Chain A
Amino acid sequence: MYEFNLAGLLPYIDPLPRAILLTLWLSLLAIVMSVAVGVFGALCRTSTNLIPRFLGAAYVEVLRNIPLLVVIYLIFFGLAQVGLRVDGFNSALIALTLNAGAYMTEIFRGGLLAIPNGQYEAARSQGMTGPQLYRYVVFPQVFRIIYAPLGNLIIGIVIGSSLASVIGVEEVTTWMRRAGDETFRYMESFLAVGVIYVVLAQTINIGRIATGNWLLSKAPVGARR
């Protein structure tokens, strides 16, 4: 007769903190890198020049329409076959970044399109250069617009990082499979990991909210009371 017993996983507790840290690290790196890809991709997609606009659109449409799992396989196994070996962690990181970067591009593009032309004209009329205009006028406003959709996506990145388990990255899902296989306590290990993902995703999400509040409260010229 089956009996729920979390303590049955105790012999496997030692590698768990390391696995959690690896999931966290992989997710954070993928978030930061995909934000960078998204900003760049959105600037391409909103460019007045046809070539970056086309390349940006092509990137988004291709990456958005390939399952993350397939991208991971492509980088880990596909590239290895043509002689370019990328280790598991970096394969997962690149795949997550490329995949999430496509969604980031769309989120940032939506934010950029929401900024009225008058904002660019006001900033240019004050003699701002391109970088100044984006730094002080456009991006702070884009950030306010994309702040909420960004939350969905970064949670998606944390959850998506579990696919790194298929190429042997020793993260939380890999730990779950091993603990489950060896103890037959599948229910316990799956539930434990489910809770761990909720906590990890929410921790990162709370980090997003805190960072956002801090950024929003900051005055660019030191005059806010």
Chain B
Amino acid sequence: MSTEPASPVLRIEGLVKRYGAHVVIDGVDLDVVPGQVVVIVGPSGTGKSTLLRCVNGLEDIQGGRITFEDQPVLARSRTVHAIRRRIGMIFQSFNLYPHLTALENVMLAPVKVLGESAKEVEERARGLFRKVRLEHRAHAFPSQLSGGEQQRVAIARALAMNPHLLMFDEPTSALDPETVGDVLTVMEELALEGRTMLVVTHEIGFARHVGDRMIFMDGGKIVEDSPPEEMIANPRNLRTQQFLGSILHH
């Protein structure tokens, strides 16, 4: 096949993120094309979450450039709000709005930020609740939901904005083992729909089955970038071998 490579939806060039003298991200280059599922793994404290937070401008950057759909991402700029509306973010700790029901959580931003009609948004939200298999929980408050349910509501909340990129920041790390599967199933279905996803996770099984690309980060750098099967079977770098060894064999 000789199809033209799709132009990237997200382009990261030479990204540097420092807190004072402490370098968290040390020159990262990464292109994500539409429909791609990129899974980022690596030991904690190596800048994986920070990378996601830089992409939607939650963190300012000290060097390099991030371009989302041909627009530069600049934290604290006027343009950053419009970019964030097209990027869905799912957090490790869900961060649902506790004063709102599940349905209101999903509807709030489309109605108040995008200015869509409440009726249309509610219809769409109902569909999203079916998609994440929580239609019976739409009127529950977050405190009445299990962790896995909260995370699926958070996914529905992100989807309600019709984002062009979904970012998951360790979405299953705060969950009970038995609810992890529900969340991963939903994520897998999203990948099958052809969504563009950037996923930070320790779920190597998910990376293997769902990921198009696997990235191993260590010390603020991308150490290895290859198809998941290949990286898991044949890690080239010593650090990758050690890391995958430690999380696969126990």
> Do B95 and A122 have beta carbons less than 8 Å apart?
yes
B87 at the interface (CB under 8 A from A): yes
B-chain residues with CB within 8 Å of residue A224 when the two chains form the complex? 101, 104, 139
A162 at the interface (CB under 8 A from B): no
> Do A223 and B118 have beta carbons less than 8 Å apart?
yes
B107 at the interface (CB under 8 A from A): yes
Contact-size category for A? 20 to 34
> Do B118 and A118 have beta carbons less than 8 Å apart?
no
* Binary flags per residue of A102-137, CB closer than 8 Å to B gives 1, else 0: 000000000000001011011111111100100011
Of the candidate stretches A3-11, A185-193, A203-211, A214-222, the one touching chain B is A214-222
A-contacting residues, B90-120, CB 8 Å: 91, 93, 95-101, 103-104, 107-109, 111-113, 118
Cα–Cα distance between A121 and B56 once the two chains are bound (Å): 10
The tally of residues in B whose CB lies under 8 Å from a CB in A reads 35
> Do B101 and A132 have beta carbons less than 8 Å apart?
no
Cα–Cα distance between A126 and B91 once the two chains are bound (Å): 12
A-contacting residues, B53-82, CB 8 Å: 53, 56, 58, 81-82
A18 at the interface (CB under 8 A from B): no
Apart from A122-B95, A219-B101, A223-B104: 10 A-B pairs, beta carbons within 8 A = A121-B91, A125-B87, A127-B84, A127-B109, A132-B113, A136-B112, A137-B108, A141-B98, A220-B104, A221-B121
Q: What 10 A-B pairs have minimum CB-CB distances, sorted nearest first?
A: A127-B85, A122-B95, A125-B89, A118-B95, A126-B109, A127-B84, A221-B107, A221-B111, A127-B81, A223-B103
Could you jot down 29 A-B contacts, CB within 8 Å? A116-B95, A121-B91, A121-B95, A122-B95, A122-B96, A122-B97, A124-B84, A125-B58, A125-B88, A126-B84, A126-B109, A126-B161, A127-B84, A127-B85, A127-B109, A127-B113, A128-B109, A129-B81, A137-B108, A141-B98, A220-B100, A220-B112, A221-B107, A221-B108, A221-B111, A221-B121, A223-B101, A224-B101, A225-B139
